[in-house]
Structure 1
Amino acid sequence: MIELTELTKVYGRQTVLNGVSLRIERGGLTSIIGPNGAGKSTMLTIIGRLLRADGGQVTVDGLDVARAPGRVMAQRMSILRQENRFTTRLTVRDLVSFGRYPHSQGHLTPTDRSQIEAALGFLDLGPLAERYLDELSGGQRQRAYVAMVLCQDTEYVLLDEPLNNLDMKHAVAMMRQIRRAADTLGKTVVLVVHDINFASAYSDRIIAMRDGEIAHAGPPEAIMTPEILRDVFDLDVQVTEIGGSRIGVYY
């Protein structure tokens, strides 16, 4: 379980996170939604120990992420940042193999190589394994980054806007693969996503943020209502049920 207690983050005079307390249970897919500036990415980045909080605490299965040894946390939790840049020219296989570093420290074992092949196969990247990242489309490159995170083989997987720069077709394919990771690999996936339709269709739980606080949290059917979405996004939304899923339509 991921637990946040009175988590705060301040930049100058701006409070980005205002005493956030939250529990994210193990298993399934949790989406974090909200308008720009709500604190979504900041919260996820602090959970993933890439950013220090100014107050409060984050624990993962009882371990304080700010105090636990880095290697211990890296074997339990992985994170994909919103922006990823490599100055070195890498193949897809090279990139995915980085996910094994917390386990192998750069000396790949047969187990590591097996995990690399499994991650490549899971994201259908086998035919692209020897291609360089700068030779790939945006959707292919994003799949490679997600494969790297899955290759780390952690219980908790944090994804910050994994649908960035993807068209509708590739975004749907990505969400299906992320959902499959939760279902077939048994991962606890937490992602920041802007599209409330994707959050509704693929999530087990939705956390809605506004002004650095948790405005609402619950299953999709509880969150995807005109009243709650109007409260979070300050706009009128018509909610229509299609195939058992609640889909938000903006007006």
Structure 2
Amino acid sequence: MVIVEDISKKYGQKNVISNVSLKINKGKITSFIGANGAGKSTLLSMISRLIARDGGKVSIDGREITEYNSNELAKKISILRQSNNVNLRLTVKELVSFGRFPYSQGRLTREDKKQVKEAIEYMELEDLQDKYIDELSGGQLQRAYIAMVIAQNTEYILLDEPLNNLDMKHSVQIMKVLRRLADELGKTVIIVIHDINFASCYSDYIVAMKNGKIVKDGPTDEVITNNVLKEVYDMDITLENIKGNKISVYFT
């Protein structure tokens, strides 16, 4: 379990995250939603130790994240940021292999190669695995990065805007893969996502944020409501039940 206790972050005089506390359950998908500037990506980055916090604590499985050395943490958490710039001429397979570095230190074992192969298959990249990444479309490249994260085979997978540059078909594919990782492999998936419809359809829990604070968090059906979304986005919201727990969200 991830436990966030009273963490904060300030840039200059601006409070980006203000005394946020949160518990994230294992083996589930938790989505951070909110308008631009709500603090979602900053919160995710502090949970993963990518950026320092000004106060508070973050613990993973009962251990403060500052107590992990870098290699230990890389075996516990994998993270995909919004912008990823690799200035090397790599094939898709070579890029995905980077996910195994915490284990192999660059010398791939049979197990490493197996994990890379499975990650490529998960993302349906077999036909592209020998292509260079600078030959890929934006959506194909995003799928390759997600395959790299899957190959890292961590208990916790953190994704910042994983649907960037993806069309509807591949967005659905990504969310279905994340659902499988949670349901079949027990992975804990934490994502920053702008598409509320995808969040409502595929998430177990939602954290709704505004101005660096949590407006409401809890099971999806308790957070994806007219009142909560109206408060988060400062807009009138229309929710329409389609099938079961699937919801269409309209801003009016």
Q: Please tell me the TM-score bracket, short chain as reference.
A: over 0.9
Structure 2 gap segments, 5+ residues each = none
Per the alignment, residue 157 of structure 2 pairs with 157
Structure 1 gap segments, 5+ residues each = none
Query: How far 1:121 moved relative to its partner?
Result: 0.9
What letter corresponds to residue 67 of structure 1 in structure 2? E
The alignment-based identity, stated in percent, is: 51
Question: Do structure 1's residue 58 and structure 2's residue 51 form an aligned pair?
Answer: no
Counterparts of 1:218 and 1:238, CA distance in 2: 20
What letter corresponds to residue 249 of structure 1 in structure 2? Y
Per the alignment, residue 121 of structure 1 pairs with 121
How do residues 183-194 of structure 1 correspond to structure 2 at under 5 angstroms? 183-194=183-194
Counterparts of 1:26 and 1:14, CA distance in 2: 32
Query: How far 1:224 moved relative to its partner?
Result: 1.4
Of 174-183 and 12-21, deviating more is: 174-183
- Report how many residues are paired: 251
Per the alignment, residue 130 of structure 2 pairs with 130
Would you say the 8 A contact 2:163–2:171 is kept in 1? yes
Counterparts of 2:80 and 2:235, CA distance in 1: 30
What letter corresponds to residue 213 of structure 1 in structure 2? K
What letter corresponds to residue 56 of structure 1 in structure 2? G
Per the alignment, residue 232 of structure 1 pairs with 232
Per the alignment, residue 100 of structure 2 pairs with 100
Counterparts of 2:108 and 2:63, CA distance in 1: 27
What letter corresponds to residue 80 of structure 1 in structure 2? L
Residues 142-175 of structure 1: CA deviation (Å, up to 9, x unaligned) = 1110010010000000000001122222222221
Counterparts of 1:223 and 1:154, CA distance in 2: 28
Would you say the 8 A contact 1:224–1:247 is kept in 2? no
Per the alignment, residue 141 of structure 2 pairs with 141
Would you say the 8 A contact 2:7–2:19 is kept in 1? yes
Would you say the 8 A contact 1:220–1:246 is kept in 2? no
Output the TM-score relative to the length of structure 2.
0.97
Would you say the 8 A contact 1:52–1:66 is kept in 2? no
How well do the aligned residues superpose, as a CA RMSD in angstroms?
1.0
